[in-house]
Structure 1
Amino acid sequence: MFTTLVFHEIRPKAEISKGQRPICVADGYEDCLPMPLYNSTDYFHELMTYLKGAGYHFLSLDEIKGFYYNDQTLPEKSALISFDDCYQSQKKYAYPILKEMGIPAVSFVPSGWVFNKEDAYREEYSQVLSFKELEEMSDVFTYANHTHHFHQREGMQKSRIMWETEATFVQDLKECNQYVEEQDVFAYPFGMYDQSNVKTLADLNFKLAFTTKPGFNTKKTPPLELHRNIVSEGLPIEKIRELLGE
């Protein structure tokens, strides 16, 4: 059994207190990141310190593949740390904490959002990083597929992978795979998908795909519908321990 935690923006409380801000992405898609997806640097540091001190093993994607496909076992206390969307705050605030503590993580890359040139950190936007900056964090982060241009939504009911044809979804996946090392691992944009998307991933020999449905992952969890837990800011450690199955 293992637990996956997912993060988006890690910022100082003073920045978070200024409220929701628009995203700034290379392909021009317009949206705003919901406030529940922000965590403070203080809280993130506290949480990582707890996991480290409690003796958690921080999983790699290869270990998870081995768990599902090669009958390998995992340490009793196992967790996967993941990030979505590659915002600037991931490099400015989260990366130094993870690097200092020696904690590896996975970052799901919407490659069409990523800029070709680095830009200065802008507090007033949820701006995505450049490819060069992603490479600079590769000692901590492993990168996997989060679509190329299909990280778009209609409200909270449907993401673009659900309304496009299978052929165009396949092409988008292949485009993203040009930019990530883990070409058989996927995260559903906004956590929204349907069973036709799962079938497409299976047909393309994807090994793992992550949702945003909370819960633990066991041998019985479909590897193309893995659970991930969104961590709310300030959630007491007692509740975190419940998420982790302690």
Structure 2
Amino acid sequence: MQFQHKIAAVLFGIFMLLTTPVALANLLPEDNAVKSEYMEVQRDSEVYSLVGEHVIPVGEVKRGQLIQVFPADAEYYEFKFGYGTGFIDKSDVRGIGKSRKVKEDDLGELHKPLTNQNLITQRPTNVYTAINNQSEVFGVLEENLRYPIIGKLKDSLNNTWYEVNIGERLGYISELDAEIDSGIPVLTYHHMLKNDENKRFRNTSTTTSDVAFSNQMAYLKQAGYDTISLYQLEAYLHNRINLPGKVVVLTFDDGLKSVYRYAYPVLKNYGFRATTFVISSRIKRHPQKWNPDSLQFMSISELKEIQDVFDIQSHTHFLHRLDNKRQPILLSRSLHNIEFDFEHSRRALSQFNPHVLYLAYPFGGYNKNAIQAAKDAGLHMALTTVRGKVKPGDNLYTLKRLYILRTDSIPIMAERIANKPSMPVAH
């Protein structure tokens, strides 16, 4: 317990540095040029890592196992853990005597993580030293972890095993003990009203009720989901960060006053974070008197007030309109025109956020010009309304999202965001 407190205290500063938007957006794989050595674990030893925003116990390494460690704080060593760093108490490991030869595992080019391939642990999960559950146990991974897979192997009974790297040692996890990561759900919301005041928008699918939203957020909290930022999502898509198994991204399009009025207090109460994609030309200079019969947009002061919960990103400046054929006007604009708008939006939103790196296409409409303009304007990712989850290997400028409607029951929501493959369907 004392070691855990020490780790948490020392790593809080590291966490604060690594979880800034710029750091997460530009996170690079760690440099292993620091001198390392293999050491033997003297007792079943609990290990820790930064997962999402918290330094937590992530499992244990069994007595007698070897791991490659790096010099660190006076009380712990560092070692490779997933896409980040693990920590082990120095008193739990010892140097290897000259009589013991280390047979290093082959971790060359053939053992780079497979694209799109992470596993998710649903319970404490044994990591074996061979593809046989009668073989020696190297260690245990805790539940609710995403962990990169190096390879897939078949045993003599044709069962699949996932190959992983922990501390530069190869370990094996049975497919019966873990699930393949199907991606992270990015949930989409727009307008929000109380049922008794919703007269104009009852037939609008993108308008949800305050009660439905509150119940959905209560479910996420009760079911153990964490909310992550788009900066963390980008790092996940680049295979640069360890995340829990149960995470969602919450997004709100347009920058509507109803989000300030109804969603913000609920999210703040649960300690959740979210992103609002703001139409920068529609920001009001002063707050408007509440009128549930019209679509109202947040003011400068309201946007600043919600920033303890909401990250502010772009929903374009003047391009959130339909043409006379009811098609998104963005689709008929030139590359130069779109790029100019995206850059204008970034500048306009810089008063709230100096790190406007993400865009939601208006009405979900995009084409080759829109994608190229997003890249040229310096945006890192762009989101659509095509239904599905996101995972490493996806095109960063056509990312999918999911709608949870006011008519969807909590069991339907639970099924939609659960870790299972989903077929993308155009919204």
> TM-score scaled to structure 1, two decimals?
0.89
2:220 pairs with 35, 46, 51, which one?
51
CA offset digits 1:159-211 (Å, max 9, x no partner) = 12211111121111111112142422000001011122112212333211111
Query: What's the counterpart of residue 283 of structure 2?
Result: 114
Q: CA deviation at 1:109?
A: 0.6
Could you give the per-residue CA deviations for residues 25-69 of structure 1, whole angstroms, max 9, x where no partner exists? Answer: xxxxxxxxx610111111101000000111111011111121123
Q: Which position in structure 1 is the counterpart of 2:190?
A: 8
| Unmatched runs of 5 consecutive residues or more in structure 2 | 1-182, 420-427
Using a 3 Å threshold, how does the CA distance of structure 1 residues 205 and 174 change in structure 2: closer, same or farther? closer
Maintained 8 Å contact 2:238/2:392: no
Number of the residue aligned with 1:210: 383
State which drifts further: 212-221 or 66-75. Answer: 66-75
Name segments (4+ residues, structure 1) moved above 4 Å. Answer: none
Could you tell me whether the CA contact under 8 Å between 1:110 and 1:149 is conserved in 2? yes
CA distance in 2, matches of 1:75, 1:232: 25
Question: 1:70 Cα deviation (Å)?
Answer: 4.9
Equivalent residues in 2 for 1:1-246, closer than 5 Å: 1-16=183-198, 18-20=199-201, 35-154=204-323, 158-178=327-347, 179-180=349-350, 181=353, 182-246=355-419
Once the two structures are superposed, residues 141-169 of structure 1 have per-residue CA deviations (whole angstroms, 9 ceiling, x without a partner) of 00001101111113786312211111121
Q: Which has the higher contact order (CA 8 A, sep 6+)?
A: 1
Query: Partner of 2:304: helix, strand, or coil?
Result: helix
Q: Which amino acid aligns with 1:119?
A: Q
For residues 191 and 327 of structure 2, what CA distance do their matches in structure 1 show?
23
- Alignment check: 8 A CA contact 1:215 1:243 kept: no
Please give the per-residue CA displacement for 1:214-234, whole angstroms capped at 9, x wherever unaligned: 111111321111111122112
Counterpart amino acid of 1:75?
P
CA distance in 2 between counterparts of 1:39 and 1:156 reads 27
**Range 207-216 or range 157-166, more displaced:** 157-166
Structure 1: segments with no counterpart, 5+ residues: 22-33
Count of matched residue pairs: 233
CA 1:4–1:156 in structure 2 vs 1: closer, same or farther (change >3 Å)? farther
> Partners in 1 of 2:372 and 2:333 — Cα distance?
14
Q: Which amino acid aligns with 1:187?
A: A
After TM superposition, the score normalised by the length of structure 2 is 0.52
Q: Say which is worse superposed, 180-189 or 135-144, in terms of deviation.
A: 180-189
- Alpha-carbon distance in 2 for matches of 1:240, 1:155: 35
C-alpha distance in 2, partners of 1:200/1:173? 8
* d(CA) in 2 for partners of 1:218, 1:224: 13
CA shift for structure 1 position 78: 1.1
- For 1:2, the aligned partner's letter is I
Alpha carbons 1:157, 1:192 under 8 Å: kept: no
How far does residue 19 in structure 1 lie from its aligned partner after superposition?
2.7
More helix by proportion, 1 or 2? 1
- SS of the residue corresponding to residue 209 of structure 1 reads strand
Question: What RMSD over aligned residues (CA atoms) do the two structures have, in Å?
Answer: 1.7
Structure of greater Rg: 2
Structure ranking higher in strand proportion: 2
CA distance in 2, matches of 1:88, 1:158: 25
- Of 98-107 and 160-169, more deviation after overlay is shown by 160-169
1:7-35: per-residue Cα shift (whole Å, max 9, x none)? 1111111122x1339xxxxxxxxxxxx61
